[in-house]
A = this chain, B = another copy of it.
Amino acid sequence: MKKGIKEILKSSQLSVTASREKILNLFLDQEGALAHGDIEKKAGEKFDRVTIYRTLQTFVEKGIIHTIPTVDNSIRYALCKDDCAEGHHHDHHVHFVCSRCQNTFCLDDIVTPSIDLPKGYSTSHIEVVVEGTCKNCN
């Protein structure tokens, strides 16, 4: 088990449990994003589905991971950067979905552009999802 996982959990005021360590470890081992189903498979039948749902929900609330919108019907989760505080995400970067390998990546260095909206609209958050071919598949 990777070092630092307990510290991440503790710094989010979460008690350290086997399932939280395991799931968090999956995210740290993984370059891209994970959907609930991926975790269920990778965790290897060891955790109840309900536990995974609740753990992911907790991690989102605590700002450890964030969700990525997709055109298919699967919510994907990815690790947040350090500046994500509880209930207050700062993941203003672009997300990339590879149409060949189906992996989802956070392009942390690409900041979402600002959008000029029509009169009467106000913005609180912008999501940008780019579809294409990733560097591993190109």
Contact = CB atoms under 8 A, between A and B. Distances in A.
A109 B124 CA distance: 20
A117 B131 contact: no
A5 B112 CA distance: 39
B131 A128 contact: no
B109 A135 contact: no
A120 B107 CA distance: 12
A18 interface: no
Most buried by B among A72, A96, A110, A117: A117
A47 B21 CA distance: 47
Contacts of A116: 110
Q: How large is the interface on A (under 10, 10 to 19, 20 to 34, 35 or more residues)?
A: 35 or more
Contacts of A37: none
A121 B94 contact: no
Q: Which of A107, A120, A122, A135 has the largest count of B CB atoms less than 10 A from its CB? A: A122
- 4 nearest interchain CB pairs? A120-B135, A123-B132, A125-B131, A69-B69
15 contacts: A69-B71, A94-B115, A110-B118, A115-B130, A120-B138, A121-B132, A121-B135, A123-B131, A124-B131, A125-B132, A127-B127, A127-B128, A127-B130, A127-B131, A128-B128
